Structure 1
């Protein structure tokens, strides 16, 4: 190791040192080291000032070693929690009854392929009227998962034994008149970063592919309590980035030469291909929006602090969010209604009402749109503008708005720092070399780089984030929902940092046949209004009903 490299590594004396920490901890910290180190951070302390700091930094480094001896599994959260609520914000105090239309005259389709694309209310009607049993429906989806799952590379584990057990239980309950609601007896899948008792929870990454966590994540537990039938653990890009996982690369059912994007890769691919009625995904920075676009599904990214992450892999404690991936906004509302709210374990979750109802008067909503973003030239602009036109013709007045002018892309360091902490042991042990992706933008390098971000700069970034939260509150003071392009706008970054909810829905196709989407963003805890507006759009357009066919072709 040359002297310059050694000094560069020692630059991290004010925070964790990485894989070389144990050896370097034996070296005495000198002024020369610190002079080299401060160049990384753009500082200019003189030699005398640095000399005064050496003894304290030596103590800090010894303290790092003692702290590292404390076992910190991924599920241990920091003693600080991101608060997305700006000064002056209030959510409704009353909780209204959740209400969607129950369908009465639903019949089994003559073509069984059509059953794969039935909505949750349609499937619920078939089960409630006993035209099909949960065991039959579960077997139907298991067969599709077995047939097409390998082609799409979207499944890590089939939970067949558990699924059939839960389906038999659901049938007994429904037969006995103990109907639990629209999810009762309906199969679902979850992104494989959610813990499930007795089955592997792989996090999509080779170092964890045999990991078993002896619990059910809160989201899994709530869906099962609602009568849901867990049939599959679904792929995610390793450690929640992209669509490449330890077993391959998840594909879009619209074009098998293309990935399904990520990181909720398997959830979106499986739902789009009719292998499941719905699935659970997560988002830190686009992981529901992006695969929903690549696969043509409807995705709901809830407000930060809406859904418990207990039992979920942590990547960024201040940005991770859990939500449903479905084929329609109404289906997303039904699933979300079963999973939101405090559980006493994830202390970031707020007890705010979700007042979704078929009685919401969408035309009374105050709707904004990012005018400048829609006016610039970009791919898929034609489909986006057509979507805006549909809403205008439906009587929705669109008010131009702008996002705050702050350096939001620089705040993405949040994920680097928190991710480096979440996977500290993986990095220091050297097991990060087992990850499939090893390029400079992959996790191993991001986690290493994250260790060289000073704690002061991370805190300063979070203070700018506080300004962003407050400024967004001001921008949305007179707006209930606003509309944005799904990509090519700062909106995706801004709203993931502020914790605002969004609903992403299909708007048509590109020239190459791949889907396009548009995004509806609600106020904090305003999922109901965003979903209601998205439902209006879907009621007026056929895009959410289109089915991919590429995955059906024989190879």
Structure 2
């Protein structure tokens, strides 16, 4: 029998507490209790064997209570760091100067509304040449955030006062000849799980909607050091799932009846709608890829260990990644160049150069594709086939490849365990009842269920993950970049587990008018080649230049 206050599981001699309310049952453990508990995890120890464990299990139970008294805030990481590096892997060491395509002469448009969908290089040239001041540009985007943000439900906090201060400072520096580069004076937004001084960091969730973490996350600080102007904290599905947050449901600007997916919901919606030139998102299992697909943006999910997560809400320490959501691959390269690399605070980050070169010869890259996934029947297959054809017509040879034949979806229990630990206090305090979503697939239930996963099984899953890392290295030894349908969940799961980078790119529209995307995958720490190849594809098409009509009076909303 299980006691309401506590449940106990046994896994190969290891005892795992499943208690998910604060008061622990005071009764002694019995053979009957642990016999029933072991059924949950498929074990079959004899009564005599179980009886022998009782003393140690009682000791474990006492240890849990001692450990629980130690305050652990979300920013305290475990003393275990995921290693995405396969045996035999060697890092590139030579760092080259960062280059982007030289901008042609850019003129301020007569209709300033066109600025909403200008690229970072275009805006940068206007600011650099002082055709428009950073302050003017910042006020322009703030006005759009105020006008369209409430309809899209994509903003948690407008950082107007800070933004204007930063813009005026940028103008002074540029006039003084102290130009810092393409992000200098350019407004941006961040997913509201990144901490910012003086402003709330809500994590999109009711229990934290008034939370202030009075420091700038490393990514925020680096963008500001590059001269960037923070104009808004953008919505995320509560605790980084979906597009429903404490204030509503974030919408895709292509169709207000459709959510913008998640969890980087506000970042993608704001970029797609021209409310910011670029934004920062995060991904654990699809949270950059999915909203970029729903909103038709270009999203970069970097290699695990590329970007510091200091100041970011932790959901899964071994899977969380931070990356830009932009209008184009080159915009993503510009933003990524400002945020990657060690900061001395996130111990998972590697010091590996990013040698982006827009003039790389794409025909020298070895390009694969998941042939079997592209051959399946799905709703926007024609768009993906058109992408493949555009590349082959441009002289790119596509080589069929397959992913490792290992269980991958089963390994996503990693998120359940690590998430349950990250939000242990939320669960045991009962404040999880404050979250908007309370269905069986929502965080409150996932966190509770995660407590019943034995430590042994979690570690066994990580050992299988090691095999996955090694086999992916073998599969990609002769491949620089490969293509996958964005719907291919197996690729999404496998590569989030192994830590490989991807760029998701718009490549057309569905019959209902919603955008579609295709996913380009890279080798570990291969963002330079990946983004260069993505830029090459975007030079063959104009999908990234499409943007929604922002006349919401003609659009329905559910």
What's the TM-score once normalised by structure 2's chain length? 0.97
Q: 2: CA distance between counterparts of 1:193 and 1:458?
A: 26
| Equivalence for 1:201 | 201
Determine if contact 2:2/2:37 at 8 Å carries over to the other structure: no
Q: 1: CA distance between counterparts of 2:550 and 2:186?
A: 26
* 1:334 Cα deviation after fit: 0.1
Q: 2: CA distance between counterparts of 1:445 and 1:5?
A: 18
**In terms of mean alpha carbon deviation, does 13-22 or 138-147 score higher?**
13-22
Determine if contact 1:392/1:398 at 8 Å carries over to the other structure: yes
In structure 2, the residue corresponding to 1:199 is in which secondary structure? coil
Segments of 5+ residues of structure 2 without an aligned counterpart are none
Q: 2: CA distance between counterparts of 1:82 and 1:258?
A: 36
Segments of 5+ residues of structure 1 without an aligned counterpart are none
Residues 119-164 of structure 1: CA deviation (Å, up to 9, x unaligned): 0000010011110000000000000000000000000000000000
| Equivalence for 2:44 | 44
| Equivalence for 2:18 | 17
| Equivalence for 1:301 | 301
Q: For 1:347-386, list aligned pairs within 5 A.
A: 347-386=347-386
Q: 1: CA distance between counterparts of 2:92 and 2:352?
A: 8
Q: 2: CA distance between counterparts of 1:179 and 1:129?
A: 10
Q: 2: CA distance between counterparts of 1:380 and 1:363?
A: 27
* 1:542 Cα deviation after fit: 1.1
* 1:357 Cα deviation after fit: 1.3
Q: For 1:251-270, list aligned pairs within 5 A.
A: 251-270=251-270
* 1:60 Cα deviation after fit: 0.2
Determine if contact 2:20/2:451 at 8 Å carries over to the other structure: no
> In the alignment, is residue 32 of structure 1 matched against residue 35 of structure 2?
no
Determine if contact 1:254/1:551 at 8 Å carries over to the other structure: no
Q: For 1:238-249, list aligned pairs within 5 A.
A: 238-249=238-249
| Equivalence for 2:67 | 67
Q: 2: CA distance between counterparts of 1:193 and 1:93?
A: 32
| Equivalence for 1:138 | 138
* 1:7 Cα deviation after fit: 9.7
Q: 1: CA distance between counterparts of 2:176 and 2:536?
A: 36
In structure 2, the residue corresponding to 1:38 is in which secondary structure? helix
Alignment coverage as a number of residue pairs: 552
* 1:225 Cα deviation after fit: 0.1
* 1:277 Cα deviation after fit: 0.3
| Equivalence for 2:482 | 482
* 1:550 Cα deviation after fit: 5.4
* 1:18 Cα deviation after fit: 3.0
* 1:15 Cα deviation after fit: 2.2
In structure 2, the residue corresponding to 1:14 is in which secondary structure? strand
Q: For 1:136-535, list aligned pairs within 5 A.
A: 136-535=136-535
Determine if contact 1:102/1:125 at 8 Å carries over to the other structure: no
* 1:496 Cα deviation after fit: 0.2
In structure 1, the residue corresponding to 2:17 is in which secondary structure? coil
**In terms of mean alpha carbon deviation, does 5-14 or 325-334 score higher?**
5-14
Q: 1: CA distance between counterparts of 2:43 and 2:465?
A: 23
Structure-2 change in CA distance of 1:8 and 1:336 (3 Å): same
Determine if contact 2:5/2:23 at 8 Å carries over to the other structure: no
Q: 2: CA distance between counterparts of 1:511 and 1:131?
A: 40
Q: 2: CA distance between counterparts of 1:222 and 1:442?
A: 33
After superposition, the CA RMSD in angstroms is 1.3
Residues 466-485 of structure 1: CA deviation (Å, up to 9, x unaligned): 00000000000000000000
Determine if contact 1:508/1:543 at 8 Å carries over to the other structure: yes
Q: 1: CA distance between counterparts of 2:160 and 2:133?
A: 16
* 1:362 Cα deviation after fit: 1.4
Q: 2: CA distance between counterparts of 1:44 and 1:7?
A: 24
* 1:261 Cα deviation after fit: 0.1
In structure 1, the residue corresponding to 2:117 is in which secondary structure? coil
Q: 1: CA distance between counterparts of 2:462 and 2:414?
A: 8
In structure 1, the residue corresponding to 2:333 is in which secondary structure? helix
Determine if contact 1:255/1:550 at 8 Å carries over to the other structure: no
In structure 2, the residue corresponding to 1:223 is in which secondary structure? helix
Determine if contact 2:509/2:515 at 8 Å carries over to the other structure: yes
Determine if contact 2:5/2:21 at 8 Å carries over to the other structure: no
Determine if contact 1:354/1:527 at 8 Å carries over to the other structure: yes
* 1:4 Cα deviation after fit: 5.1
Q: 2: CA distance between counterparts of 1:328 and 1:296?
A: 10
* 1:234 Cα deviation after fit: 0.0
Q: 2: CA distance between counterparts of 1:471 and 1:429?
A: 42
Determine if contact 2:191/2:279 at 8 Å carries over to the other structure: yes
In structure 2, the residue corresponding to 1:156 is in which secondary structure? strand
* 1:554 Cα deviation after fit: 5.9
Q: 2: CA distance between counterparts of 1:514 and 1:109?
A: 28
* 1:502 Cα deviation after fit: 0.1
**In terms of mean alpha carbon deviation, does 442-451 or 542-551 score higher?**
542-551
* 1:91 Cα deviation after fit: 2.3
* 1:104 Cα deviation after fit: 4.1
Q: 2: CA distance between counterparts of 1:332 and 1:23?
A: 49
